[in-house]
Amino acid sequence: MKETRATTQRKSASSPRRGEMKAVLMREAEAVIDELLDWNEQAGQPTLTQIEEVILKLRKRMSEAMAVTVIEAQEASRPVPGPVCPQCGREMHSKGRKRNTVESRVGSLPVQRGYYYCEACRVGLFPPRSAAGGVGQALERTGGQAGGVAERAGDV
């Protein structure tokens, strides 16, 4: 995914949130790097396994920060109409913002997002996108955790 300076400038101009997202991620990256360097100064002569453990822990933290930043940016750019119910196709209505922990391939992600509900089907949705299409998957709450497309009201 190599980009030229012109490509980056075009993306920056077309996405006002890009600069904010980059600033958040750069702060997190700097904190992760500082933590690694602090650990290295204090570790003496760590084994390869110890080095790998620290690197994997820090990589996980950075991956989670990147995922949360992108997910929350999607929420901020949602269109005015609510998502479509995956059961009946009607527009779902906002129930406000809810905090949830999403289990993803990069780890547990604490996110605060809009929660949508279909009165007719009693289905709730905690989406990064509508259940009817788009890139990725909507997030489903399962046993207090999110991870699929939609949820039945009894599961909330």
Amino acid of residue 50: Q
Q: Is residue 149 over pLDDT 50?
A: no
35, 43 Cβ separation under 8 angstroms = no
What's the mean per-residue pLDDT of the chain?
A: 74
Q: Is residue 156 over pLDDT 90?
A: no
Q: What is the DSSP string of 86-134?
A: TTT-PBPEEEEEEEEEEEETTEEEEEEEEEEEETTTTEEEB-SS-TTSS
Does the reported pTM lie above 0.75? no
Within a 10 A sphere around the Cβ of 151, how many other Cβ atoms?
21
Nearest CA among 112, 96, 95 for reference residue 146: 112
d(CA 108, CA 60): 10
**What's the rounded mean pLDDT across residues 47-72?**
92
Summarised one tens digit per residue, pLDDT across range 136-147 is 444 444 344 333
